[in-house]
Chains A and B, each alone.
Chain A
Amino acid sequence: MSNKKFWLNIFFILISVAGVVAFLISIRQAADTKPVPSTGKKERQDDSDQLVGMKLKIPGSDKNSYWDLNVASLDSLDNIGHMKGIKGQYYSNKKPVYHLSAQSGLIFWKTKILKLKGKVSLSTNDNRLLTAEVIAWDPNTNKVTAKNNVILKTAKLTVRSTAIITNLSMNQATFSQNTTALYER
């Protein structure tokens, strides 16, 4: 009897776990198929528009790619957006491939250039990580420029430098002066 009760409990646990997983998958698929429209509150202040708690969709370097950013606040003035509390992903063919976070940043609306400051972190799905005080990304050239306390980590390699120019996938990079590389052999 007790054996029967044990297996029944296991069965109910498995059903519950499967249900939670299915729910999460459906949420993620919904997020993939259509971008979430901005839901921030709008407040007018002088000549700038200030928005609080919103999502930004910024075109990428090709037509099938874009940044999907959550920002705590956005202040837009003279074709420049001033952002705070930035976190997001870069989608390519509807799949997230790069991940970004920063304390603050600028978006130049005309050129779509992003300039991020304050503990900026950029990572790839294959565990390459770039951190710096300042990271800028230019979709027109697909170049990423990082400055100040730059650290680039890949498999078994850590590079520290004052500045790096690379691309989003971080498979090629040029380091400025005072570069140190540490390899695990």
Chain B
Amino acid sequence: MKNIFRMSLFLIMICIICGAGIIWAEEQIELIAPGGGEMDLKQDLMKYYSSGSNKVQVLWGNSTMEAGYLEYYRDQDILKGKDGIKMTQKKPVTRVLKCVEITVDLKKDFFAANKEVFLNYDENTSFSGNSLEWDRKNDQIKILGKPEIVYKDWKILGERIEGQVTKGVITIFGPVHAFNGDSNVRCGKMIFERAQDLFTLQDNPVVVRGKNEMIATEIYYDLKTKKVTASGEVKTRTIE
């Protein structure tokens, strides 16, 4: 009985030490600057430079980032990077964000990326545009500047994308144009539900598949079954 108690106590201590180690690692931020840097403790600002193709690297929590140039505002816990930004999130799945400029609020877990933004969200989904704001804590994403979603074999274009990317409910504001190998969709607004593999098309939606065209008040496109259903006033025709 005593031995079991001692063993349990030992295992609990090991777990606490390992947990503390993980928490400590989460609370650290490491910057590697091949080209050196500048420190100003009065303003609590540090600047880091790359050297040739060797970029500045930042490691924190479950993420890493590389940049041509980086600033760290320590009192605000904000990173600002420029030139060839590539941010990689390792967990829960590997996600990669690329852009030209980025601001990362480490406290709020919020990213603002600008210019040539590309987010490889998972093996089926990617986002691109000219600007992206991603509040990871509250699961809110906004993409502007010719935003695009690539989902499996679908490409979705719009004027503005907003939604909850982890929950998988994303609204594309249009005019919206979505297409794959055999279907072509246009509407004023699309609600994309990733978990259900469903497009809900609103604001004068039109679906064209082959030579068949459907217009309705609202159209539902099931991406798994390729079944299209409509509500409200429905018109169909064959395109010659």
Interface residues of A (CB under 8 A from B): 152, 154, 157, 159, 161, 170-185
Contact = CB atoms under 8 A, between A and B. Distances in A.
Given A172-B40, A174-B36, A174-B37, 9 more contacts: A172-B41, A173-B39, A175-B33, A176-B36, A180-B30, A181-B33, A181-B48, A182-B30, A184-B27
Given A182-B28, A185-B27, A185-B28, A171 B41 contact: yes
Contacts of A184: 27-28
A181 B28 contact: no
B48 A179 contact: yes
Contacts of A181: 30-31, 33, 37, 46, 48
Q: How large is the interface on B (under 10, 10 to 19, 20 to 34, 35 or more residues)?
A: 20 to 34
B31 to A, nearest CB: 5
Contacts of B38: 172-175
Given A173-B38, A173-B39, A180 B33 contact: yes
Given A185-B27, A185-B28, A185-B106, A175 B34 contact: no
Q: Which of A157, A174, A184, A185 has the most CB of B within 10 A?
A: A185
10 contacts: A152-B39, A171-B40, A174-B37, A174-B38, A174-B39, A175-B33, A175-B36, A177-B34, A180-B31, A185-B28
B28 A159 contact: no
B42 to A, nearest CB: 6
B40 to A, nearest CB: 5
A14 B162 CA distance: 72
B32 interface: yes
B90 interface: no
B20 to A, nearest CB: 14
A93 to B, nearest CB: 21
Contacts of A170: 41
B39 A172 contact: yes
Contacts of B33: 175, 178-181
A178 B34 contact: yes
Main secondary structure on A side of the interface with B? strand
A182 B30 CA distance: 5
Nearest to B41: A171
Interface string B54-89: 000000100000000000101001000000000000
Nearest to B29: A183
B51 interface: yes
A175 B31 CA distance: 13
A174 B38 CA distance: 4
Q: Which of B32, B77, B106 has the most CB of A within 10 A?
A: B32
Nearest to A155: B41
A76 to B, nearest CB: 37
B35 interface: yes
A185 B77 contact: yes
A173 B47 CA distance: 10
Contacts of A174: 36-39
B28 A183 contact: yes
Q: Which of B36, B38, B51, B72 has the most CB of A within 10 A?
A: B36
Q: Which of B32, B41, B42, B48 has the most CB of A within 10 A?
A: B41
B46 to A, nearest CB: 7
Contacts of A175: 33, 36-39
Contacts of A176: 36
A159 B46 CA distance: 11
Contacts of B39: 152, 159, 172-175
Nearest to A170: B41
Nearest to B40: A172
A147 to B, nearest CB: 13
